[in-house]
Amino acid sequence: MANVEFDNTGEAFEADRYGTYAMLRREGAVHRRVMKSGWVIHDVTRYQDVVGVLRDRRFRTVKFAPELVEQLLQQPESPLHTLARIVDCVLLVKDDEDHRRLRSLVNRAFTPRVVQDLQPRIAALVDDMLGEPLATGGLDIIEQLAAPLPVIVIAELLGLPTSDYPLLKRWSDRTATFIDGTIREQGLPEAAEAATEMGAYLEGIFAARRKEPRDDLISGLVHATVDGERLTENEVLATTWLVLAAGHETTTNLIGNGMLALMQHRDQWERLCADPTLIGSTVEELLRFDAPVQATSRIPVEDVEVAGFPIAAGEETLVYLASANRDSDVFDDPERLDIARADNRHVSFGFGAHFCVGAALARLEAQEVIAALARRAPNMVWDGRTPQWRKGLILRGLERLDVAL
């Protein structure tokens, strides 16, 4: 087992994530780190090992700050109480029957037919959002396109007013920091305030849908029965939050990271503009090249081995999806962006039981946005500024991306 010194929260890592991942893959299959608190983390960066952990049922999901959350659940007067209610019941930290029960409900909102039926609406939104930038000649791809589009689509699926987009975006952005241990502490006050405001807002919506159901996901959640039982209030709240937060944050990052990669690899952008039929493989390659979700954690319930290295029960295993996507044992010339890459088996949506339920919708939204830009603004020029990334290890996304049209 290798013990390479590196800090996945430091400036050096942030300046060259993929160089660090490459170094870790070269130096060993598993890297053991002991934190100041005594907590042990095993970093897994090679493709086969990442997939092996995610498919191994001896590894379970990791609860977010479980001791803190357990305390807060007993303190209804705490400003952190609503946040604790959400993260304790969220689908991301459920396994076995609890996971199956909740996921079966969410799956209904993301079937292939439901997603495909959204295509005309998504295309119309994209065209509308591009109207003003095309007229003025300038566009911040994040603020004016990649951020609002997924929130509006998810809000409509849930049955929330799209006019509340700014609130929904702010709440989900701030609460999402809690799932990333590298930025959790500094973001806690804002996350708690956002969760409290969002909880009060959504519980009013839940009450209204119980009285008068509509054809939307929230109505489905509050009236659903699974194995003869209804979801608890906390489960409805947590599931709604997850669909809202995960349903837009990762898609925003996919579009932003992807367009930055295309601007930095101009030959590939011009290739797409010349051949629009490549849009499907383009989005898959952009997912592989700079994954919106960089890593995820698991904990084994018994002593296990990964690539021959022992990991004790209860010790966190951090699997780097973004590193697996650059593994030369699986991908030919992995550092090269190739929008026609065949057999692209990236793991950007995860693997196994927790494979991203909204993957098809994220793909569709990214395809519609990037195809529209290639069609309507093929000569766009990136301003070349040093990219400013949002803080955090788990989610990777840009603050802004300015282009001239």
- DSSP codes, 362-395: HHHHHHHHHHHHHHH-TT-EE--PPP-BPS-SSB
pLDDT above 70: residue 3? no
For 228, counting Cβ atoms within 10 Å of its Cβ (0-12 exposed, 13-18 middle, 19+ buried), the class is exposed
Range of the domain at 375: 11-404
**Structure confidence at residue 1 (pLDDT):** 58
| 62 in a structural domain | yes
* CA–CA distance, 389 with 400 (Å, rounded to integer): 8
Whether 3 is covered by a domain: the verdict is no
Residue at 36 is within a domain? yes
| DSSP string of 8-23, one letter each residue | TTSHHHHHTHHHHHHH
Domains held by the chain: number: 1
| Model confidence pLDDT, tens digit, residues 108-165 | 888 899 999 999 999 999 999 999 999 999 999 999 999 999 999 999 999 999 999 9
Percent of the chain with pLDDT over 90: 80
Residue (of 253, 255, 246, 249) closest to 372 by Cα position: 255
Count of H-run helices and E-run strands, the chain: 18, 12
| Residue 36 host element (H or E) | none
131 falls within a domain = yes
Residue 5 belongs to some domain of the structure: no
Structural domain includes residue 329: yes
The pLDDT, as a whole number, for residue 377 is 97
Can you give the CATH number for the domain in which 124 is found? 1.10.630.10
What is the Cα–Cα distance from 270 to 370, expressed in whole angstroms?
12
Alpha carbon distances (Å) from 89 to 99, 157, 336: 10, 21, 40
Whether 2 maps to a domain, the answer reads no
Query: How many percent of the chain have pLDDT more than 70?
Result: 99
pTM of the entire structure?
Answer: 0.95
Pairing of strands 229-230, 402-404: unpaired
pLDDT exceeds cutoff 70 at 2:
no
